[in-house]
Every structure is written in C-alpha cells, then in structure tokens.
Amino acid sequence: MANQLDSFFAALADPTRRAVIERLARGAAPVSELHAPHDMALPSFLKHIGKLEAAGLVRSEKKGRTRIVHIEAAPLKEAETWLHQQRALWEGRLDRLQSLAEALERKPS
Amino acid sequence: MANQLDSFFAALADPTRRAVIERLARGAAPVSELHAPHDMALPSFLKHIGKLEAAGLVRSEKKGRTRIVHIEAAPLKEAETWLHQQRALWEGRLDRLQSLAEALERKPS
DNA sequence: TCATTACCTAGCCACATGGCTAACCAACTC
DNA sequence: GAGTTGGTTAGCCATGTGGCTAGGTAATGA
C-alpha cells in the first residue's frame, strides 16, 4: 500500500537532494558537476543521487566514463497535485464554514 | 541551513501521516478519532502526530481530557510552491529547447 | 468515589539513513 | 602504456525512525 508518494516526499526531505533537483531544473549535468558544490565525499553524494533515481525524480545514463543526470518532472507534478488537493479540500471547508457563518448572521434565530 | 521544507517533506513521506492530513483536510478531529482507522498502538500513533506538529503541518489543543487536532495549510502551500517552481523552471527550459529546435529547423545551416 | 476513558511518558528494539574510508575499474590523455 | 579522471563497490559507524509494552495521570460519568 506504500504509495509512490512515500519515496517522492522522502527524497525531497533532504536539503542536498533538493539542491540537486534545483540544479537539474536548469538542465541535465554530469555527477561530478552536481557533486562539486557539496562538501561531502563522492560515495555519500552518490547515495543521494541513488535515492532520487529510485524515487523516479531523476534519470541517468552513462556516457563514456561520465554519468549524465536528468530531472523527471512527472513525479514533481504528482506530489504537487496531492498537496494542492489537500489544500483545496481544507480551504473549501473554510469557505463553507464562512458561508454558514454568514448565513447564520443574515438570519439569526 | 536546514530549510523548514526538510521537516515538511519528511512529515509527508509516511502514509500514516498523509492519511492523517487527508482526514484533517475535511475538518479537525480528536486524537482518538484520528487513531481509530490505523492498526497501531496509540503511543506509536502519537509519535506521528508529534512529527506533524513539529513540522508545523498541524496544530492541537487540549479540551478536557481530549486533544483536538487541526490542519495548518500554510506549510502545504509552501511545499506546493517549491515543487511548482522547480517544475516551471524545468518546463520553461523544455519550452526554450523546443523554440531553439524550431528555430534551427526553420533556418538549417 | 470509583471506574473508565483518553491520552502521556519512559524505555526498549530492529532497521533505515547519511556520513565516512579504502580499494577498485574503466575510459581518456599524453 | 602509464597516469589521471570519473565513478563504483564494499563495508564500517552513529544517529534517527517507527514500532512495541508497561505504567502513569487527569477528566468524566455512574
């Protein structure tokens, strides 16, 4: 039953991984370039890339001895949709409460 | 530097906690009612509520011997905005690539 | 006032996560 | 063909997470 949202959100719950996504949103890049700004050993960094890839947020392919990483937008959209639905539900409820309050105000018992 | 998004996304990375949010989007509820559908000891469940509260996704207040839990929409919106920005960046880039491709097609060297 | 209800605290456990080093391989470059 | 570059694999470690039981406490109802 563990929804794919599990791994999507878990993948985004880490600042290193969000930074990678932010970088990749501006275009694909090889691992070495993605790694450069992060003060962390390469193997540790590769684990993050692995999580992103396992969550389907990212794709990668080997070109010669370098590995190019691309973002995958569909899961971002799915997560965004879930969040939006919850918010819409909640805000819809607030609207209805407000209507109720106004109705009660117009017609006090 | 650990952004608040850290705890927001981490809080949403668990199906139990997302189910709680989905329930609360339809209105506030006491802990016992939130707990009922989940096959899990109460203390375990309370830890989930604690995480949601620590992440600011939820507020709660004690009324007599029961605790009422409410959703807090602002963080949902913040996370949604972040996701939307990344996607917009990415899709904007795709648009520009497409324009470039079309431009090249119109005027082949 | 006594029992029940609704939650809270403490403490334990297994496993996942996020970091590291060391050692390796495979592709370029000179 | 020897060295350098860019990843990769293996394995270790500390801490965090998500579950549990046992045993509170405080409000409520009979």
Please report the DSSP string for B73-88 in residue order. Answer: HHHHHHHHHHHHHHHH
Among A5, A8, A83, A80, smallest CA distance to B15 is for A5
How far is B43 from B75, CA to CA, in rounded Å? 25
State the total domains in chain A.
1
Domain of A78, in residue numbers? 4-106
How far is B38 from B33, CA to CA, in rounded Å? 10
Is B13 an 8 Å CB contact of chain A?
yes
pLDDT digits (tens, 9 = 90+) for B69-87: 999 988 888 888 989 999 9
Among A75, A30, A39, A47, smallest CA distance to B86 is for A75
Q: Give the pLDDT score at B96.
A: 63
Protein CA at B76 to nucleotide C1' at C29, angstroms: 51
Asked if B12 lies within 8 A of A15 by C-beta distance, the reply is no
Protein CA at B47 to nucleotide C1' at C13, angstroms: 16
Residue type, A70: H
- Segment B87-94 shows an average pLDDT of 81
Measured in degrees and rounded to the nearest 5, phi and psi for residue A88 equal -65, -45
Q: Which of A12-16, A28-32, B1-5, B79-83 has the lowest mean pLDDT?
A: B1-5
Q: Which residue of A has its CA nearest to B19?
A: A86
How far is A35 from A45, CA to CA, in rounded Å? 7
Q: Give the pLDDT score at B2.
A: 52
**CATH number, domain containing residue A52:** 1.10.10.10
Q: Is the pLDDT of residue B107 over 90?
A: no
pLDDT-based confidence at residue B1 (cuts at 50, 70, 90): very low
Q: Is the pLDDT of residue A105 over 90?
A: no
Measured in degrees and rounded to the nearest 5, phi and psi for residue B56 equal 80, 10
Q: Which two tokens stand for residue A35?
A: 């790694």
CB A18 within 8 A of CB A76: no
Q: Which of A41-45, B2-6, B84-88 has the lowest mean pLDDT?
A: B2-6
pLDDT-based confidence at residue B35 (cuts at 50, 70, 90): very high
Q: Which two tokens stand for residue A108?
A: 């006090």
